[in-house]
Structures are given as structure tokens and as C-alpha cells.
Chain A
């Protein structure tokens, strides 16, 4: 699905991603964990085409995309749910969702769009109730659902989520993680960044630990949960109770 080799990226002269290689196979949930400032968000932004990499390769379903513009990457089947949701606050819930499907406007009939909307509403009932409400008036958790829904409108094969549990009431975090599992069961491939390493590794198949722009550990989710470095750094003091 996604294959990255020796990726370097950054801002100005600041090198943030220092030679990262990773892959995501079809149907997998892969988690990237790491401390603040390790480069996790930069990594996703680079894959999404929002930042141009300095060197390295990014292949999406066998196609090189490191020079492709963001909209083309979305059209190729890779959507990003950005950190902090980045919704259009002054638009309604429905308008936000429709914008998510914008790249598919040419090959979709009105019926297709309705069907996609309906799928999102089935996933998140609350969005149907608030269809005409402005995005700004939603709670944090509802906004996160909207952001995920918006990304799904492009019918991605790979969905990348940047801290989906950030700033959300604990009760809703459980819903978000449940949604991620539903998406996986429906066959969507997921690349997930999470501060909540324990919850992320519980639902992930595999994971990578990113520290100061480099991968220092990789393995199955179980291996990472059993790794003492990971336990100390990410499951210990930073560990916040979600569902225990």
C-alpha cells in the first residue's frame, strides 16, 4: 500500500525527518508513536504532499508520489485526518463533508455522493443529527468524527490520522477508537499517529517508534508493548487512562 524509503524532510534549514523508512501493507493498522517533536506530524504531512521531501521515496500502491500535489495524493486514495481537525468552522457539517469528496466530483453522480454521505452518517449518527449545524458549534469529539468523516468522503484506501484522540473527552475517545476498528474491519488501511500509545498499540497490527526524526524501534504491536523502552517512555509516565 505505502512504502517509504530514506525519507528526509523539514522546514527551512531544519531537518526534522532524518532518513525514515517504513511500510504499510493493505488492510493493516500501523501506529507511529514517539515523543512530542519527534517529527510524527511532519512525517504525515510529507506523505500527504503538504511538505515536499528533501530526499527519499514515497510509493503509494506502487506509484511514486513524493512530488505529487496534495489533491492528487487524495485522488490516488490517501486521505489525511489532520491534527486538531482543521475543519471549516463557518461551514455546516454537511458542507464540510461534501468538501471532503471534492476530488471525486468528476466521477461521482449525485447518487454516489448521497450514498457516501449516508455511509458516514451511519458510522457517526450524531453527524446526521447535526447536519445543518455549523462545524464550530460541535464538541471536540464530534469535530473529530466530522474530520474523519470528511477524509472518508474521498473513499480512501489508506487513511492517515494525526492524534485522533487529542483534546477529546475520554468517553468519546473510546468511540473514536471503535470507529478506527470498524474502518479496519471494512478493509481500510490505516496509518495512525497517537500520543496515547497504549490504546494505539492495542488496535494496531504493527508499530514504529520515531525519536528525533529516526525510527529507533519497529515490530508487531505486541512486541512494542513488551519492549521496556517503549513501556518506560510511552506507556509509563505519558500514559493517560482511557478505557482502563
Chain B
């Protein structure tokens, strides 16, 4: 990580010059190579030659996840497909996923700046790193995996689909020193440890690096009480990249944003104007080194604040707060993220029209559970036609599993028994105190 360390402590003047150069060459490329951006810039009457500073970025239109959904599969790529060497996908708002392409240089950069975050959290070549994210289309596990390998740590791909018992056995026998997963998954492993009566002192574990869902300081305290770790937060862009955007250093007071690869903005989601420094708002990111899938002003839906105050660690990159809340109704479930609209699409497809429904998230000792309650309506079999109803139930469950990669229990309820709730159709009981 020779270039990394140099970049992380660049003076602000040098960093701004670098950001401007990279931004301008990115804009020149997307304008030439990506029809979406050409049309979008033209429609907003922006001349990219007027973008003479990173602040001028504000003149450009935003990119939303709907835009990305419409580009399925490859419309947003800025290079021909044969230059892409890796493809991942993230769930879109509706039926089609967002497809993410990486060139060889993209992979190298991504590896480098993810390695940076891990190094900042204290990972070295002496660590044994257990990565318990799903190893599938999602980029999350792979991003951390490459970064940890780059540092020279011993990396165990230990997908979240393994049972908690096996995870714990690996952790104990392989002498895992660092655990990388979602915070809720780590809590589940803590519960399994207690259940199997494995005393934390029998573990080599000392570092936890978490991401993939928002979690607060109370959650951190709980994790650190139940596992022998220092827990570090990281931030990634699961829709368009994967991990590696920002992470906590040893100070653990904010996440350093890798500003030599990303430009961060904080906006008021209603007025779309920038918020004053230090105030919370929606995070907006622009990638400035990506070749395959460059993204201009992506609205993340994550709410956080950003500070430019110097950090005692010496890194000059600005720090973002931990994600305070989300603007959309995204569900973080089992290391994946899904939208209620995706479930609506399935219900509509299978039943012909959208019935009243409710999604209930809960957890038993072992794992997160999802229940989808669906009201029977006129064009569905009546509740007493048991066999037909059972058939429909199985079809829905299978459809959810095949499209979203999650297992949900479907239950039918009497017509008009579900109330429309102000907070939407999702009830999350996972973080409520246990009975």
C-alpha cells in the first residue's frame, strides 16, 4: 500500500487538485461513453467544461437508484463489456437488479482502498480474517476478501450461509483474530458462543469490522460486551460498488472517506441544496477513478454528517458520521438488502393485482426471519379451499426465494384484517428487547 499511505495524508490543497483532475477526466469520459449521462447533462443544460472545481459538481444532475434500475443490465457501463473482468449485482428497487462492472484497474483500486480501511482498523499480515458475508452476486464479501488478502492476512471465506455452529467452530479452531460481517450476524454468533458455552477467552478474536447495514453506538457497546473485540464501522456503496468507501481508524470517531477515489456531498433531501458543514443530510457520492461503472452524484438514501476537522490519526480525509438513518424503506436482512417494492412486484405478478400485505421481520436464536402476511381477496381462492391456497402459498414462497435469495414464510389472513400503517408495510421486531 505504498500509494495509499501517501494519499491518505495528502495536504488538502494537493488532494483538491487531484480530485478536480480526476473528476474532470471522469466527466469527459462519461459524457463521451455513457448515453445516460450525455442525455442527462444535456437535458439539464450543463456544460461539463464549466465544472472547474469540486464545488461546481453541484451543477450536475443526480443519479438515483431508479436510473440505475432502468439501465439493466449494462447501459451504464462506460467501457465495452470485454474490458469488464468482474460482474456483481445489487438488488434493484423493482424486479431487475443493478449490475456492477469492474475493469482490471477498478479491481486493483477497489482492492487497494478496501485494504486501506482494514489496515486503518488494525488488520495486519498476522491476522486470521474470517469473512462471514454471503459469497454470492453481492460484492460485499469479495471486496473485503481482496482487501484482506492484499494486506497479507490469512483470509477464511466463511459464507453467512454456514450454520452459526460451524462459524463458531471455524472461529475457535482456525484461531480467527478478525471477524468481518454484518453487526447483526456478529450478535447472532455471540449468542451461539454463549449457547455452546465457548468462553470468549478461548478465542483469539480481537477485531470486528462491520458493514452492510446501519448500526449505532449502543449496538457497538453490546457487541463489545459479548465478544472480545474492538468493533469498527465501515461504509460502502452496495448498489454501485461494494465496501471500501469509508471506514473508522483507531480513534473510532467517524469514518474516513477515501477522498482520492470518491467525492462526498451532503444534501438536504427535500431542497437538494448542500447542508452546512457538520449538519446531517443525505450522502451523495461521485466516483472519480472508476473506469467500468462511473457514477456521478449518486443519492444513497443514507443520512449522516461530514466533518473536515483534523483527526489525531494524521489522515487528512474528511470523516463521515455513522449512518444515522435511511430515507427509504430498504430492509437489511441476512446480509442482503431488499425493498418492499420487490415483494410487491412478486405478489402482483403471482396474484394478478396487489393485495394488502405486511412484512414482519423478527429473529429467533439462530437467524433473522421474515414473514409475509397476505390478505386473501376476491380473485384468490377462498380461505376454505385449503389445497388451492397451499399451492399458492408455496408458489409465492418459491418465487421470493428464487428472486430475492431469502426465505420467507407466507401466511394468508382474512380480508381487511391488516391495517394500513403509517410507517409502511414493514414491521421490524428484531431489535426489540427479547421476551
Q: Report which A residues bind B (CB closer than 8 A).
A: 3, 5-6, 18-19, 21-23, 25, 208-209, 211, 214-220, 223, 226-229
Contact = CB atoms under 8 A, between A and B. Distances in A.
A5 B108 CA distance: 28
A208 B17 CA distance: 14
A18 B80 CA distance: 26
29 contacts: A3-B17, A5-B20, A5-B52, A18-B49, A19-B49, A19-B52, A21-B20, A23-B17, A23-B18, A23-B21, A25-B14, A208-B21, A208-B25, A209-B25, A211-B28, A214-B24, A214-B25, A215-B21, A215-B25, A216-B25, A216-B28, A217-B25, A218-B21, A218-B22, A219-B105, A223-B105, A226-B104, A228-B79, A228-B80
A18 B47 CA distance: 12
B360 to A, nearest CB: 48
Contacts of B63: none
Interface string B71-114: 00000000110110000000000000000000111001000000
B291 interface: yes
B245 to A, nearest CB: 19
Given A208-B21, A227-B105, 18 more contacts: A5-B52, A6-B52, A18-B49, A23-B18, A25-B14, A211-B28, A215-B24, A215-B28, A216-B25, A216-B29, A217-B29, A218-B21, A218-B25, A223-B105, A226-B108, A227-B291, A228-B83, A229-B79
B3 interface: yes
A228 B103 contact: yes
Interface residues of B, number: 24
B8 to A, nearest CB: 16
Nearest to A62: B13
A1 B375 CA distance: 70
B289 interface: yes
B58 interface: no
A5 B105 contact: no
B9 to A, nearest CB: 14
Contacts of A21: 17, 20-21, 24
A217 B108 CA distance: 16
Contacts of B83: 228
A9 to B, nearest CB: 14
Contacts of A218: 21-22, 25
Contacts of B80: 228
B32 interface: yes
* Residue from B24, B32, B104, B291 whose CB has the most chain A CB atoms within 10 Å: B24
A220 B104 CA distance: 13
Contacts of B28: 211, 214-216
B224 to A, nearest CB: 39
Contacts of B32: 216
A228 B105 CA distance: 10
